[in-house]
Protein backbone atom coordinates (compact mmCIF):
# COMPACT_ATOMS: atom_id res chain seq x y z
CA UNK A 1 0.00 0.00 0.00
CA UNK A 2 1.23 3.53 -0.88
CA UNK A 3 0.70 6.38 1.57
CA UNK A 4 -1.65 9.17 0.43
CA UNK A 5 1.14 11.76 0.64
CA UNK A 6 3.03 9.84 -2.08
CA UNK A 7 0.10 9.73 -4.50
CA UNK A 8 0.56 13.28 -5.84
CA UNK A 9 4.20 12.76 -6.99
CA UNK A 10 3.12 9.58 -8.79
CA UNK A 11 0.64 11.43 -11.01
CA UNK A 12 3.29 13.14 -13.20
CA UNK A 13 4.99 9.76 -13.62
CA UNK A 14 1.81 8.08 -14.88
CA UNK A 15 0.33 10.80 -17.11
CA UNK A 16 3.02 10.59 -19.86
CA UNK A 17 1.93 7.03 -20.68
CA UNK A 18 -1.31 8.53 -22.04
CA UNK A 19 0.56 10.79 -24.47
CA UNK A 20 1.10 8.44 -27.48
CA UNK A 21 -2.59 8.02 -28.45
CA UNK A 22 -3.28 11.69 -27.73
CA UNK A 23 -0.29 12.72 -29.85
CA UNK A 24 -1.48 10.64 -32.80
CA UNK A 25 -4.94 12.16 -32.49
CA UNK A 26 -3.53 15.68 -32.33
CA UNK A 27 -1.46 15.20 -35.50
CA UNK A 28 -4.49 13.80 -37.31
CA UNK A 29 -7.02 16.39 -36.13
CA UNK A 30 -5.15 19.66 -35.65
CA UNK A 31 -3.50 21.71 -38.34
CA UNK A 32 0.21 20.74 -38.56
CA UNK A 33 1.51 23.99 -37.04
CA UNK A 34 -0.98 23.85 -34.16
CA UNK A 35 -0.19 20.18 -33.51
CA UNK A 36 3.53 20.93 -33.50
CA UNK A 37 3.27 23.65 -30.86
CA UNK A 38 0.72 21.76 -28.77
CA UNK A 39 2.77 18.55 -28.72
CA UNK A 40 6.07 20.31 -28.02
CA UNK A 41 4.69 22.36 -25.14
CA UNK A 42 2.90 19.37 -23.61
CA UNK A 43 5.93 17.10 -23.90
CA UNK A 44 8.27 19.62 -22.30
CA UNK A 45 5.85 20.32 -19.44
CA UNK A 46 5.38 16.60 -18.77
CA UNK A 47 9.14 16.03 -18.84
CA UNK A 48 9.80 18.82 -16.32
CA UNK A 49 6.99 17.59 -14.07
CA UNK A 50 8.29 14.02 -14.16
CA UNK A 51 11.74 15.22 -13.11
CA UNK A 52 10.19 17.26 -10.30
CA UNK A 53 8.21 14.23 -9.13
CA UNK A 54 11.32 12.04 -9.16
CA UNK A 55 13.15 14.68 -7.15
CA UNK A 56 10.31 14.87 -4.63
CA UNK A 57 10.25 11.10 -4.13
CA UNK A 58 14.04 11.01 -3.79
CA UNK A 59 13.99 13.73 -1.12
CA UNK A 60 11.19 11.95 0.74
CA UNK A 61 13.35 8.84 0.95
CA UNK A 62 16.57 10.64 1.87
CA UNK A 63 14.99 12.81 4.57
CA UNK A 64 13.43 9.73 6.14
CA UNK A 65 16.96 8.49 6.91
CA UNK A 66 18.57 9.94 10.09
CA UNK A 67 21.93 10.93 8.50
CA UNK A 68 20.28 12.96 5.74
CA UNK A 69 17.65 14.34 8.13
CA UNK A 70 20.35 15.79 10.36
CA UNK A 71 22.14 17.20 7.33
CA UNK A 72 18.89 18.95 6.38
CA UNK A 73 18.60 20.41 9.90
CA UNK A 74 15.52 18.33 10.69
CA UNK A 75 14.81 17.72 14.37
CA UNK A 76 13.57 14.25 13.43
CA UNK A 77 13.47 12.31 10.15
CA UNK A 78 10.37 12.39 8.02
CA UNK A 79 7.97 9.56 8.73
CA UNK A 80 8.66 6.47 6.64
CA UNK A 81 5.33 6.08 4.86
CA UNK A 82 4.32 2.65 3.53
CA UNK A 83 6.03 1.97 0.21
CA UNK A 84 8.32 4.97 0.61
CA UNK A 85 11.76 3.41 0.35
CA UNK A 86 11.13 1.26 -2.76
CA UNK A 87 9.64 4.27 -4.55
CA UNK A 88 12.45 6.54 -3.40
CA UNK A 89 15.08 4.03 -4.52
CA UNK A 90 13.44 3.68 -7.94
CA UNK A 91 13.16 7.48 -8.26
CA UNK A 92 16.81 7.95 -7.32
CA UNK A 93 17.86 5.43 -9.96
CA UNK A 94 15.69 7.09 -12.59
CA UNK A 95 17.13 10.51 -11.73
CA UNK A 96 20.65 9.13 -12.03
CA UNK A 97 19.85 7.75 -15.49
CA UNK A 98 18.39 11.12 -16.54
CA UNK A 99 21.42 12.97 -15.18
CA UNK A 100 23.62 10.74 -17.34
CA UNK A 101 21.46 10.64 -20.49
CA UNK A 102 20.42 14.30 -20.78
CA UNK A 103 23.86 15.94 -21.02
CA UNK A 104 25.12 13.05 -23.13
CA UNK A 105 22.28 13.55 -25.61
CA UNK A 106 22.76 17.34 -25.64
CA UNK A 107 26.49 16.97 -26.30
CA UNK A 108 25.85 14.44 -29.06
CA UNK A 109 23.35 16.75 -30.76
CA UNK A 110 25.79 19.67 -30.53
CA UNK A 111 28.59 17.52 -31.91
CA UNK A 112 26.49 16.40 -34.87
CA UNK A 113 25.45 19.99 -35.55
CA UNK A 114 28.99 21.39 -35.47
CA UNK A 115 30.26 18.56 -37.66
CA UNK A 116 27.57 19.25 -40.26
CA UNK A 117 28.14 23.01 -40.05
CA UNK A 118 31.88 22.64 -40.61
CA UNK A 119 31.22 20.43 -43.62
CA UNK A 120 28.75 22.97 -45.03
CA UNK A 121 31.12 25.89 -44.39
CA UNK A 122 33.75 24.14 -46.52
CA UNK A 123 31.41 24.06 -49.54
CA UNK A 124 30.52 26.86 -51.96
CA UNK A 125 27.09 28.38 -51.33
CA UNK A 126 24.54 30.18 -53.48
CA UNK A 127 22.33 32.23 -51.20
CA UNK A 128 20.91 29.84 -48.62
CA UNK A 129 21.78 26.80 -50.73
CA UNK A 130 24.81 24.62 -49.97
CA UNK A 131 25.51 21.93 -52.57
CA UNK A 132 27.67 18.95 -51.59
CA UNK A 133 29.15 16.71 -54.27
CA UNK A 134 28.01 13.26 -53.20
CA UNK A 135 26.59 10.13 -54.88
CA UNK A 136 24.10 9.77 -51.99
CA UNK A 137 20.87 11.74 -52.49
CA UNK A 138 20.08 13.86 -49.45
CA UNK A 139 18.67 17.24 -48.47
CA UNK A 140 18.00 18.83 -45.10
CA UNK A 141 17.63 22.18 -43.35
CA UNK A 142 20.74 23.11 -41.35
CA UNK A 143 19.89 25.74 -38.70
CA UNK A 144 22.27 28.53 -37.85
CA UNK A 145 23.07 32.13 -38.66
CA UNK A 146 22.35 32.02 -41.48
CA UNK A 147 20.39 28.80 -41.90
CA UNK A 148 21.21 26.76 -44.97
CA UNK A 149 19.61 24.18 -47.20
CA UNK A 150 22.14 21.38 -47.59
CA UNK A 151 21.56 19.29 -50.70
CA UNK A 152 23.73 16.78 -52.54
CA UNK A 153 24.39 16.78 -56.28
CA UNK A 154 22.79 13.35 -56.54
CA UNK A 155 19.54 14.68 -55.04
CA UNK A 156 19.53 17.58 -57.49
CA UNK A 157 19.90 15.15 -60.40
CA UNK A 158 16.99 13.07 -59.07
CA UNK A 159 14.46 15.90 -59.30
CA UNK A 160 13.12 18.13 -62.02
CA UNK A 161 13.66 21.91 -61.72
CA UNK A 162 10.10 22.44 -60.46
CA UNK A 163 10.46 19.61 -57.94
CA UNK A 164 13.72 21.10 -56.70
CA UNK A 165 12.00 24.40 -55.99
CA UNK A 166 9.27 22.59 -54.06
CA UNK A 167 11.92 20.73 -52.04
CA UNK A 168 13.77 23.98 -51.32
CA UNK A 169 10.51 25.64 -50.25
CA UNK A 170 9.95 22.76 -47.82
CA UNK A 171 13.39 23.14 -46.25
CA UNK A 172 13.08 26.95 -46.11
CA UNK A 173 9.83 26.50 -44.18
CA UNK A 174 11.75 24.45 -41.60
CA UNK A 175 14.34 27.19 -41.21
CA UNK A 176 11.89 30.10 -41.02
CA UNK A 177 9.67 28.32 -38.47
CA UNK A 178 12.72 27.15 -36.45
CA UNK A 179 11.49 23.58 -36.29
CA UNK A 180 14.90 22.44 -35.01
CA UNK A 181 14.04 23.88 -31.59
CA UNK A 182 10.98 21.64 -31.39
CA UNK A 183 12.98 18.57 -32.38
CA UNK A 184 15.75 19.34 -29.88
CA UNK A 185 13.35 20.01 -27.00
CA UNK A 186 11.34 16.83 -27.56
CA UNK A 187 14.50 14.80 -28.10
CA UNK A 188 15.78 15.84 -24.68
CA UNK A 189 12.37 15.40 -23.04
CA UNK A 190 12.26 11.80 -24.21
CA UNK A 191 15.18 11.03 -21.89
CA UNK A 192 13.15 12.19 -18.89
CA UNK A 193 10.37 9.61 -19.19
CA UNK A 194 9.94 6.51 -21.40
CA UNK A 195 6.31 7.40 -22.05
CA UNK A 196 7.42 10.55 -23.89
CA UNK A 197 9.58 8.77 -26.48
CA UNK A 198 6.73 8.19 -28.97
CA UNK A 199 6.03 11.93 -28.85
CA UNK A 200 9.29 12.51 -30.71
CA UNK A 201 7.97 10.75 -33.83
CA UNK A 202 4.69 12.66 -33.61
CA UNK A 203 6.50 16.01 -33.32
CA UNK A 204 8.77 15.19 -36.27
CA UNK A 205 5.71 14.23 -38.33
CA UNK A 206 3.96 17.47 -37.35
CA UNK A 207 7.06 19.49 -38.30
CA UNK A 208 7.30 17.79 -41.68
CA UNK A 209 3.58 18.23 -42.32
CA UNK A 210 3.84 21.93 -41.42
CA UNK A 211 6.72 22.34 -43.88
CA UNK A 212 4.80 20.35 -46.51
CA UNK A 213 1.85 22.72 -46.23
CA UNK A 214 4.12 25.77 -46.33
CA UNK A 215 5.84 24.45 -49.46
CA UNK A 216 2.49 23.72 -51.12
CA UNK A 217 1.37 27.27 -50.36
CA UNK A 218 4.65 28.71 -51.69
CA UNK A 219 4.52 26.75 -54.96
CA UNK A 220 0.77 26.96 -55.33
CA UNK A 221 0.72 23.30 -56.37
CA UNK A 222 -0.03 20.56 -53.84
CA UNK A 223 0.49 17.77 -56.37
CA UNK A 224 3.90 19.10 -57.36
CA UNK A 225 4.93 19.30 -53.70
CA UNK A 226 3.69 15.76 -53.06
CA UNK A 227 5.58 14.48 -56.11
CA UNK A 228 8.78 16.25 -55.03
CA UNK A 229 8.60 14.82 -51.51
CA UNK A 230 7.84 11.33 -52.80
CA UNK A 231 10.62 11.30 -55.41
CA UNK A 232 13.15 12.72 -52.95
CA UNK A 233 12.25 9.99 -50.44
CA UNK A 234 12.52 7.26 -53.10
CA UNK A 235 15.92 8.60 -54.17
CA UNK A 236 17.21 8.45 -50.58
CA UNK A 237 18.21 4.80 -50.55
CA UNK A 238 19.44 4.58 -46.95
CA UNK A 239 19.59 6.56 -43.72
CA UNK A 240 21.88 9.56 -44.13
CA UNK A 241 24.23 11.05 -41.60
CA UNK A 242 22.71 14.35 -40.64
CA UNK A 243 22.21 16.22 -37.33
CA UNK A 244 19.37 14.84 -35.23
CA UNK A 245 17.82 18.30 -34.96
CA UNK A 246 18.08 18.99 -38.71
CA UNK A 247 14.65 18.50 -40.31
CA UNK A 248 14.61 16.75 -43.67
CA UNK A 249 11.89 16.40 -46.29
CA UNK A 250 12.58 12.67 -46.62
CA UNK A 251 12.05 11.87 -42.92
CA UNK A 252 8.93 10.62 -41.23
CA UNK A 253 6.14 8.53 -42.78
CA UNK A 254 6.41 9.88 -46.33
CA UNK A 255 3.41 7.95 -47.79
CA UNK A 256 1.18 9.46 -45.09
CA UNK A 257 2.52 12.94 -45.83
CA UNK A 258 2.09 12.53 -49.59
CA UNK A 259 -1.49 11.34 -49.10
CA UNK A 260 -2.20 14.42 -46.95
CA UNK A 261 -0.81 16.71 -49.65
CA UNK A 262 -3.05 15.10 -52.25
CA UNK A 263 -6.08 16.07 -50.13
CA UNK A 264 -7.33 19.62 -49.54
CA UNK A 265 -5.59 21.38 -46.64
CA UNK A 266 -7.05 20.94 -43.17
CA UNK A 267 -9.52 23.65 -42.17
CA UNK A 268 -8.96 25.70 -39.05
CA UNK A 269 -10.01 24.68 -35.59
CA UNK A 270 -13.55 25.95 -36.11
CA UNK A 271 -13.91 23.84 -39.22
CA UNK A 272 -12.95 20.68 -37.34
CA UNK A 273 -14.75 21.35 -34.08
CA UNK A 274 -15.10 19.39 -31.86
CA UNK A 275 -12.46 16.84 -32.91
CA UNK A 276 -9.58 19.30 -33.22
CA UNK A 277 -10.46 21.12 -30.02
CA UNK A 278 -10.84 17.84 -28.15
CA UNK A 279 -7.34 16.73 -29.16
CA UNK A 280 -5.75 19.96 -27.97
CA UNK A 281 -7.82 20.10 -24.79
CA UNK A 282 -6.88 16.53 -23.82
CA UNK A 283 -3.18 17.33 -24.20
CA UNK A 284 -3.61 20.55 -22.20
CA UNK A 285 -5.45 18.67 -19.46
CA UNK A 286 -2.64 16.12 -19.32
CA UNK A 287 -0.11 18.90 -18.81
CA UNK A 288 -2.28 20.60 -16.16
CA UNK A 289 -2.83 17.32 -14.29
CA UNK A 290 0.89 16.65 -14.30
CA UNK A 291 1.64 20.18 -13.10
CA UNK A 292 -0.91 19.85 -10.31
CA UNK A 293 0.56 16.54 -9.17
CA UNK A 294 4.12 17.83 -9.21
CA UNK A 295 3.13 21.01 -7.37
CA UNK A 296 1.08 19.17 -4.76
CA UNK A 297 3.91 16.72 -4.15
CA UNK A 298 6.48 19.49 -3.73
CA UNK A 299 4.15 21.49 -1.43
CA UNK A 300 3.45 18.45 0.75
CA UNK A 301 7.16 17.74 1.03
CA UNK A 302 7.83 21.35 2.00
CA UNK A 303 5.15 21.26 4.69
CA UNK A 304 6.49 18.00 6.12
CA UNK A 305 10.03 19.39 6.19
CA UNK A 306 8.85 22.49 8.06
CA UNK A 307 7.10 20.30 10.63
CA UNK A 308 10.19 18.11 10.99
CA UNK A 309 12.28 21.26 11.54
CA UNK A 310 10.03 22.22 14.43
CA UNK A 311 8.09 24.89 12.53
CA UNK A 312 4.45 25.02 11.72
CA UNK A 313 3.44 25.47 8.07
CA UNK A 314 3.12 29.18 7.40
CA UNK A 315 4.77 30.04 10.67
The string of pLDDT tens digits covering residues 198-234 is 888 899 999 999 999 999 999 999 999 999 999 999 8
Taking the CA atoms of residue 23, residue 24, residue 27 and residue 28 in that order, the dihedral angle to the nearest 10 degrees is: -150
The span from the CA of 80 to the CA of 65, in Å, is 9
Average pLDDT over residues 72-76: 62
State the pLDDT confidence band at 312, using cuts at 50, 70 and 90.
very low
Region 102-124: mean pLDDT is 87
Q: What is the dihedral of CA 157, 163, 165, 171, to 10 degrees?
A: -90
> How confident is residue 315, by pLDDT bands cut at 50, 70 and 90?
very low
pLDDT for 184 equals 92
Mean pLDDT in residue range 279-305? 77
Which range in 72-86, 141-155, 277-291 is most confidently predicted, on average pLDDT? 141-155
Return mean pLDDT, the chain. 83
Q: Mean of the pLDDT values across residues 146-172?
A: 92
Q: Which ranges of 150-265 would DSSP assign to H, the alpha helix?
A: 153-158, 161-177, 179-189, 197-219, 222-235, 254-261
User: Over 50: is that where the pLDDT of 170 sits?
Assistant: yes
Q: Are 283 and 42 contacting, i.e. CB atoms less than 8 angstroms apart?
A: yes
Most confident of 50-59, 130-139, 164-173: 164-173
Higher pLDDT, 228 or 26: 228
Amino acid sequence: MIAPLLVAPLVPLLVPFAVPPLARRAVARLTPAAALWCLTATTVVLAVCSLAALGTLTLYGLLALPPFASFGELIHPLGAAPGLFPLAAAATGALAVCAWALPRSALRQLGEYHEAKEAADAQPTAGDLCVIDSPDPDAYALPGSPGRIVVTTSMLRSLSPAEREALFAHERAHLSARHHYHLAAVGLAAHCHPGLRPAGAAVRLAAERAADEAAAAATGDRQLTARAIGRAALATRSAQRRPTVAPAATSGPVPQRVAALLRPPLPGVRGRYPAAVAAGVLLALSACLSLAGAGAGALTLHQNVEIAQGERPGG
